[in-house]
Structure 1
Amino acid sequence: MRPLILAMIGCIAVGAAVGLADSFLHYAFPAWIEIVPLGAGLLLALALIPMSVLAIRSYYRERKLGYTTWPTGGR
């Protein structure tokens, strides 16, 4: 999940940066250049929501039994 989350954040950051550059340069880029990374970030976000719901159920099930196989922080 971590690579997907980082990819989503990266896509949104690139789209926002291109959008800001486009607004300062007064429409210097074609419209699709900023829509592609923002759309990819949105699609990744939509994919991460159900994946997170499915993952958290198994985490809570393990915690209820008194253990977890999930990493506890750090990288």
Structure 2
Amino acid sequence: MADKREILNVGGMSCEMCAKSVARALKTLDGVHHVKVELDDDLVEVDYDESKVELAALKKAVEEAGYDIV
């Protein structure tokens, strides 16, 4: 298992429902262990197994949930 932590700068989150939507989208990916959303800073911390999921897939999940990676 190759654990890694990424901090994503996510644009478009304006409320708790937005934060939950982003977290839910990321948690559905196989290999994602932990998601922490800092709504005030537009940051999302993701702990994941990089042998199961790539950074590009994390970004794609956020974008498909309707938010921007900035």
TM-score between both structures, scaled by the size of structure 2: 0.28
Q: Flag the structure with larger Rg.
A: 1
Higher helix share: 1
Higher strand share: 2
